[in-house]
Structure formats: structure tokens, C-alpha cells
Structure 1
Amino acid sequence: MTLVVISVLILVLTIVLVTSSNPPPNIVFILADDLGWNDVGFHGSAQIPTPNLDALAYSGIILNRYYVTPICTPSRAALMTGRYPIHTGMQHAVLYGMEPRGLPLEEKLLPEYLRELGYKNHIAGKWHLGHYTRRYTPLERGFDSHVGFWTGHHHMFDHSAVETETWGLDMRRGYDVAYDLHGKYTTHVIRDEAVARIGNHSVGDPLFLYVAHAAVHSANPYDFLPAPDVTVAGLEHVEPYPRRKFAAMLSELDESVGVIVEALKVKGMLDNTIIVFSSDNGGPAEGFNSNAASNWPLRGVKNTLWEGGVRAAGFIWSPLIAESRRVSQQMIHISDWLPTLLDAAGYNVETLPKTLDGINVWKSLLNGNSTERREILHNIDDIWGSAALTVNNWKVLKGTNYK
């Protein structure tokens, strides 16, 4: 009997030691901007080729009931804090360039948690969570480097951000304007920065790489949908012309994903990496920031609380997930990524603040079981008087003027 007990103890200790010796996974979070539900191949669209996204989605887990918020800044706030925007004061609209506010400094962000585990944190691309003082910018919020832009959108060649009453260059390396990148297509800037961070990374440390694309957000009034001419020319089958320009922007994003995955493979990091892909909101097929996106067959567009505004294209891919190659019908919200990725990284999630709205779904993603989430508060905008809540298969909306 004693020998049996000892054998069991040895087996348990061996399992614990093997588990604890596994290095924390690298995490690559790729966020598209204003992508529509019907703009990607893995949702059945055959119009715009997205082979790299499709390859990851089909060999990973397609998140069929994945929800974000209806607009840019609130979604990014939810991702970084694990909280609904109504709980951080970021629920209304987007941050504009001259606004004297940002994501509250008392909020602890995802990279700050990951830093406690030894992660090296880098952001390539869009921030849009405040910059009116340096304390609100990425290098003060847990990131070790940033090449990209602080505002909500800019022109993807000249990097100028044009808003109602302001104009200025917004392509940065850390705190400084990166004048040397003028004329380089933003998607290529983001791609090359991500690849450089992977190439220069010490494989002894875990990596968190936040790839926040400008695409496929519309740009400035003088050139609404900028894309390389050669890419546009290769998509002559896409009509009308604005949709073709949009398709070229998306094709460049898709190509960048393939390059980043290849860089991880060459570095020997891919087998211990989690890749998450998400849009920040639904596509603006019309109205605010219109970019010729398609949310079919979902009702609504960006900046609305209908499904077309808040149900996003998303997936997770990783060799660490045995139960892959499937479509998940689990209800997941963008705020869930903070506790979920922290659990995957080895953080003691039991110590996370009880004020989080995000739910840890890592175990359910691993084994295919359903999550504990049964409801999602899509948003409460106390200024516009709009709100929406989903409970199981029922949804209630208040105060929307969109059909």
C-alpha cells in the first residue's frame, strides 16, 4: 500500500515538474480595424482572398459568437483592461486627437500583468487610448517599444491624421515622430516592425506582440481608401471600385500575417505561440468612417449595437490547443482575452481583481467545453442614450437610430 502511495506521489510530482518547466507561450494579438463579418474567407466570402488568415482560422478555432464593442476606443480599452468600457469611462465614441483624456491611469493593463511574468511587450500599430500626456502612451502603459500611431486613423502613405479641426503627422517611434517612415505604407511599417521584434527577440523570454493594424479603416477625405496600386490592379474582379480599394487594403493585411507567421517559424518560436485575430468592431458599410466593408448577413454597421456592429471576425490558433480545427459557438467577449491569455501565460488568475468583467475561457478553449459566459453587456452610452445586452440567445437594444 505504501509503495502505491509513493508511486502516485512520484507521478503527481513528475507531472507538476513537467508542467512548471514548460516555458510561457509567446502571444501575438493581431487586431484589424473596421473589418466586416463578410470580408474574410473563413466566413464563406469568396470575393477577397485572405489565404493566410484562412489557414490560421481553419487550423485553429473560429469564434462564431465573438463580440467586441461597436467602435474603436471602447474595444481597445476592453481588451487592455478586461473590463466593460462603462466601467472605465471609455464607453462613449472614440478619442479624438485633441481630447484631454485617455484610458484611466489607475487601470492595470494586459502588458503590465504580463511584465510580471517576464514578458517582453511590443506594440506595432494603432494605440487610440490617449496621448495628451506621455503617461497615457504605450511606453508608459507596459510596453517596451512602439512603432505606430496614437490617434484613430491616418493616411497610410503620408501618415497625416486629419480630423475636424486638426491636422498633423502621426507615425511614431516611441515618443517621437518617425519622419524617416514618410511614404512607407502603414501596413508594411507594422509588418516590418513586428518581424524585427521577432527577429531580435531573446527566445529565453516570452514575447507579447500586439499588432494593431490601421487597415481596413478609412483614411483622410482626399484619399479615402489608400492602397498600393499594384495590389489594387490585381483585384479587377472586385466591384465597385471603392470595394476594390478596400480589398487591396485587406490583401495587404493578410499578406502581413503570413510574413509574421513565417518570422515566428524561422525564429523557432511558432510551436510555443498563441495567435489571436480580431476586429475591433463591425465594418462601416455606410455612415461613420464608411470603408466599403460588408457585414452580410448581419444587421447593422460600425457604431451600432446591432450584430453587424458588435459581432466580429475572430479566431485563436496555437499548437498548444489540442482540440483545434473547429468552429466554436461559445459566447466570448473581447474583455475575456485579458484573464484568458494571463491564464495561458501562467499567471495566478485567482489573484486578478474581482472588478474584471472578462471571463477566463482558456480551459474551455483547450478542451472544447462551453464557457461560463451567458451574457454580454455590449455597451451603455449614457450620452447617446443607447445600450444593448445579450443573454443566451436573446438580445435587447435601446436607443438606436440605425435600422
Structure 2
Amino acid sequence: MRTIVAITFVCLFVAQVCAESSEGRPNVVVILADDLGYGDLSCYGAEDISTPNIDRMATEGAKFSSFYVSSVCSPTRASLMTGSHSTRVGIGGVLFPRNNHGLNSDEITLPELLKNQGYATAIIGKWHLGNEDMFQPLNHGFDYWYGTPSSNSQFYYPTIKKYAADCVFREGFTREGILKRETAACPLIEDNIVIEVPADQTQFTQRYTRETIRFITQNKDKSFFVYLGHNMPHIPLHASEKFVGSSKRGIYGDTIQELDWSTGEILRALKELGLDQNTLVIFTSDNGPNTGKGGSAGVLKGGKGSTLEGGVRVPFVARWPGTIPAGTEFDEAITGMDLLPTLTKLAGGEVPDDRVIDGKDIGSLLAGKPDAKSPHEAIYYLRGRGVDGIRVGDWKYRMATDKAPKVKKSKKQPAAESQSKKVSVETLYNLSDDIGEQKNLIAKHPDIAARMKKQMEAFHKELRKKPRPAAVAESTKQD
């Protein structure tokens, strides 16, 4: 009898400790759009796209105007998962099907850190940190995955995937036929098993929304982390029938208005489940817009693939009723890397101290403290393996390799001289009064430029000294 009483007491004590330890810890939903620009939401100035639900998040929470990511998608996702600069973890550019590398299993990821604190973890949508099974999200801390291995524009190698018994084959594909092909179109995957190929891209946003709400509902009695990586508005652009023709900016705007609907459905579900007050919801994008396909960087210059502001500065809206003051706006410079240390701390965990974590805790900014400042001494603009620029305060110094204007060929001019050449362009901007990067002040302030260039070069040197390489697929390693 004493044994039973003792066991009962211990169980009650453990349950109480667990309840107390989870008190105040938020559930977390991170919504990451693909290629959505600074000028693509109405709360950031878009007049031809309506985003009332994301706008409401900003009204009821916080809106940041200087949130930085990488200029292309895989590096941003690597930084989000590891809290480190993408180059530091070996993911310097977009991963394509032909690439044999991916996120290293030695990395300690955000979902792993949250899982250690008792969180249920799910990725709904795009992964894009390695194509083979060894790189997939279930090997990096996620309990559940429903989505695509990479961009919706990318094919995959069908022979390296497993297929569900009831896999749906569309557009004339068959099980036998697809396994004979060298490549196939974008698949839909659930827990490493292909369930549809090619995926019906018109249903991506609808399906991801349902899966997100299902996972939240299933885990409503415990802490959860959902990483919702939408495929839209990356090309090819698709929206469900209900949203086609709904915006004033064509199919591009239609996809964003469907993303806004999705956000609203998730917020509604959280409220109905009684989770609204204890859930931090973040909406942002992985890089700047594809301006040739309808995207807009608004007041910023440049777009996807560029280290001009339009390529790396994206919307960031955060909502957590009762914790984030309504209507808060910040222009303090923060980054996608900051989510790992911030969310880990909010969950009661510890950030790894055995490696360089470039991200900083931005909890004071999220809490809306009036005196909160950016924890970053500098923001660095990385592209590939190099560093294009640096921002310190309002000053931005950039030395990038761009194409020189083509010189019109003449009979007197040698052909070789008429070809476009790559030149290093050195610029200095004060972003406080020139957010569009129109006035190059380098001639007026050469001392500031020289100081920032020296700081940028020192950072680049440090970055090369402490790399954490990506992993290479076992099947492609050289003997």
C-alpha cells in the first residue's frame, strides 16, 4: 500500500513539475512564404494585393521593417534551422537535385532543441536542405512532415524515394513508368513516403492549411512547434479555384491572398481551441521577390538573388496576444538566424555553446520593450561563399560584382572590348534617409566606407576559419 501511495505521489509531483515548467512557454507557428517580397503585403504598402489576416497580425502584434534573410531560399532555411550563417554550415546557395550534399546531421537544429523541451514538432511544406533521405526533416528533429523536398519547380530522382501503396499518380504517370524515368516532377511527401506525383500544385496551400490545423488540434494539450513552409509564391504560380482571379495583380497576387486566407484559418483554429493567448505566430519570407513574375520589393531596390535591400529584407510580423503589445513597430535590424536562440529560450531550453551561433536573442524586441535594441553589432550580406556587404546602424557598405553595361560594338572597336564584363561596384548608403539605395555616398564619406570594409573583411576571414561542412550523401561519397 505504501508503495502504491509513494508511486502515486511521485507521478503527481512529476505531473506538477511538468505543468509548471511548461507554464508561460508558447506554442510556436512559423509561417515562411517562398519568394514573397517587401511590397507584397498590404500592411507593407501593397495596394493591389489584400492581406487582411496578416495585416491583423501586425495590428494585434508587431511589425518589423528591417528583418534580414539570405537572398535565396536554401541558405535562409539553413540559417533558420541552425541559428548560424548559411555559409558557416556549408549551405551557401540553392540546393538542386544534382547536388549530393545537405544539412549535416551534426547540426543541432531548432526543432531538436524544442523537442528536447517536450514540444511536438512538424514541418508542413517545403524543406529544401538536401534531396536524399538522409537529409530529410525527420532526421533533423521533426516528428512529422507533409510537403515537398525542395522547390515546386524542381524535379527529383524517383528511384531514391519510397512510394505509398495508394500513391496517386497524375498526368499519365504510373508506378512502373515513373521508376524507369531518370527524373520526375515535384512530388508530395508524407513522412519520407511519396503520396502523390506530380503533386497537384493548385492544392498546396489548401492541403498545408488543413494539415497544420490537424497537427495543432492533435497536439493541443501539449506544446507544439509548426514550421509551415509554403511553396507559393515561388514559380510555377498556382492557386486553388476559389482564389484564381481574386487579386488585382494576377496569379501572383492570387497566391498571396490564398496565403493570407491560410493564415486567417490558422489563427481562427487557435482561438477556437483556446490556444490563442499561448501561441506565438510568425509570418515572414525566405528571400526577396521574383520581380519578373509579379513580385514587388516595394520601396526597396533589387529582388531575389541580390544583396540589395530588396533581395534580403522581407516582411516579418509576429503575434502573441498578451505578450507582444498590439501595434508595435520596430526598425531595429534582426535576422532569420535569431529565431533559434529566441525560441529556444522561450521554450526554456539552452542554446548550444559548443559551436558558433550567429543568431541573437530578440525576446526583448518581441516583448515590445520601448528601449529594446537590435542585439547585432552588424548585419552581413552573404552571397554564395562570399560576403557582399555590411550594415552598421543606418550605414550600408556593399562591394558586389555586377555586370557592366554592354558597350555598343563599332567597326573600330575590337569585339572583345564590346562584351559585357563583370566589375566590382563599391557603394555606401545611409538607409535611414535612402532606403531605396539611390545615393552612393562613398565619395563623401570614404572614411566610413573604409572602416566598414575592414570590418566586413575581418568577418569573412573569421567565417572561413570556423566552417561546419554540409554532409555528403553516402551513395555519392568517393572512396
| Deviation of the 1:232 alpha carbon | 2.4
Distance change (3 Å), C-alpha of 1:399 and 1:96? same
1:213 has 2:219 as partner? no
Pair 1:274–1:207, CA change in 2 (3 A): same
- Is residue 231 of structure 1 aligned with residue 248 of structure 2? no
Secondary structure of 2:294's partner? coil
Per the alignment, in what secondary structure is the counterpart of residue 334 of structure 2?
A: strand
Gaps of 5+ in 1: 1-16, 220-224
Q: Does 1:259 align with 2:265?
A: yes
| Preserved contact between residue 381 and residue 387 of structure 1 (Cα < 8 Å) | no
Q: Offset at 1:233?
A: 2.9
1:71/1:182 CA distance change after superposition, 3 Å? closer
Aligned to 2:117: 117
Give the CA deviation at 1:112.
0.4
Name the SS for the 2:213 alignment partner: helix
Structure 2: which amino acid aligns with 1:96? F
SS in 2 for 1:129: coil
Cα offset, 1:329, TM superposition = 1.3
1:179 corresponds in structure 2 to 196
Cα deviations by residue, 1:107-165 (Å, 9 ceiling, x for unpaired): 11100001110000011000000122x2210111100000000012249x9799xxxx9
Does the 8 Å contact 1:305/1:400 carry over to 2? no
Quick one: which amino acid aligns to residue 233 of structure 1? Answer: G
Query: Using the alignment, how far apart are the partners of 2:99 and 2:196 within structure 1?
Result: 24
CA RMSD of aligned residues (A): 2.5
Q: Would the alpha carbon gap of residues 278 and 362 (structure 1) be closer, same or farther in structure 2, given more than 3 Å must change?
A: same
CA distance in 2, matches of 1:182, 1:348: 39
**Deviation for aligned residue 1:398:** 2.3
- Report Cα offsets for 1:171-224 as digits up to 9, x if no partner: 101111112995461111111110110121141x200011000011112xxxxx
Q: For 1:381 and 1:176, how far apart are their aligned partners in 2? A: 31
Number of the residue aligned with 2:37: 36
Cα–Cα, structure 1 residues 188 and 352, in superposed 2: closer, same or farther, change >3 Å?
farther
Tell me which moved more, 62-71 or 97-106: 97-106
Q: How does 1:17-32 map to 2 (within 5 A)?
A: 20=21, 22-32=23-33
Q: Is the 8 A contact 2:289 2:296 kept in 1?
A: yes
1:375 aligns with 2:378: yes
Q: Distance in 2 between matches of 1:258 and 1:270?
A: 12
What amino acid maps onto 1:299 in structure 2?
K
2:5 aligned partner: none
How far does residue 353 in structure 1 lie from its aligned partner after superposition? Answer: 4.1
Task: Report how far residue 380 of structure 1 moved.
Answer: 4.4
Mapped contact 2:187–2:196 kept (Cα < 8 A): no
Are 2:274 and 1:268 aligned? yes
Counterpart secondary structure, 2:402 = coil
What letter is aligned with 1:199?
Answer: T
Tell me the residue number matched to 1:144: 143
What is the Cα deviation at residue 396 of structure 1? 2.0
1:85-124 residue pairs with structure 2 within 5 A?
85-91=86-92, 93-124=93-124
Please tell me whether residue 130 in structure 1 is matched to residue 136 in structure 2: no
Give deviations 1:295-354, integer Å, cap 9, x for gaps. 1211001000000000011111102424331111111011011001111111234x5445
Structure-to-structure mapping, 1:284-323, within 5 angstroms:
284-286=290-292, 291-323=293-325
Q: Distance in 1 between matches of 2:347 and 2:114?
A: 8
Contact 2:170 2:196 in 1 (8 A): no
Q: Distance in 2 between matches of 1:248 and 1:395?
A: 34
What are the residue-to-residue correspondences of 1:277-288 with 2, within 5 Å?
277-286=283-292
Kept in 1, the 8 Å contact 2:206–2:240? The answer is no
Paired residue for 2:218?
A: 200
CA distance in 1, matches of 2:342, 2:45: 28
Correspondence list, 1:324-403, <5 A: 324-349=326-351, 352-366=353-367, 367-368=369-370, 369-382=372-385, 387-401=388-402
- Displacement of 1:378 in angstroms is 1.9
Q: Which secondary structure state, in structure 2, belongs to the residue aligned with residue 278 of structure 1? A: strand
Structure 2 Cα separation of the partners of residues 18 and 319 of structure 1: 21
Q: How far, CA to CA, are the matches of 2:399 and 2:76 in structure 1?
A: 20
What is the count of residue pairs matched by the alignment?
362
Greater mean alpha carbon deviation, residues 140-149 or residues 266-275: 266-275
DSSP-derived class of the 2:331 partner: strand
Cα distance in structure 2, aligned partners of 1:294 and 1:124? 26
Q: Is the 8 A contact 1:62 1:315 kept in 2?
A: yes
CA contact (8 A) 1:68 1:280 kept: yes
The one-letter amino acid paired with 1:381 is G
- 2-structure distance, mates of 1:212, 1:18: 30
SS of the residue aligned with 2:333? strand
SS at match of 1:118: coil
CA contact (8 A) 1:304 1:402 kept: no
User: TM-score if structure 2 supplies the norm length?
Assistant: 0.71
With over 3 angstroms needed to count, the CA separation of the structure-2 counterparts of 1:99 and 1:269, relative to structure 1, is same
Counterpart residue type for residue 34 of structure 2: D
Distance 2:186 2:350 in 1: 41
Q: Residue type matched to 1:145 in 2?
A: Y
* Paired AA for residue 263 in structure 1: A
Stretch of structure 1 that moved more, 351-360 or 307-316: 351-360
Q: Which has the larger displacement, 265-274 or 20-29?
A: 20-29
> What TM-score, normalized by structure 1, do the two folds share?
0.84
CA drift at 1:397: 1.9
Deviation track 1:254-299 (CA, whole Å, cap 9, x = no partner) reads 101111111111221111001111100010103xxxx210112110
Q: Please say if residues 135 and 141 of structure 1, whose CA atoms lie closer than 8 Å, have aligned partners that are also in contact.
A: no
* CA distance, structure 2, for counterparts of residue 208 and residue 62 of structure 1: 21
Indicate the SS of the match to 2:147: strand
The counterpart of 1:246, out of the listed 235, 239, 252, is: 252
Which shifted more, 112-121 or 391-400?
Answer: 391-400
**Which runs of no fewer than 5 residues in structure 2 stay unpaired?**
1-17, 155-168, 174-181, 405-479
Larger Rg: 2
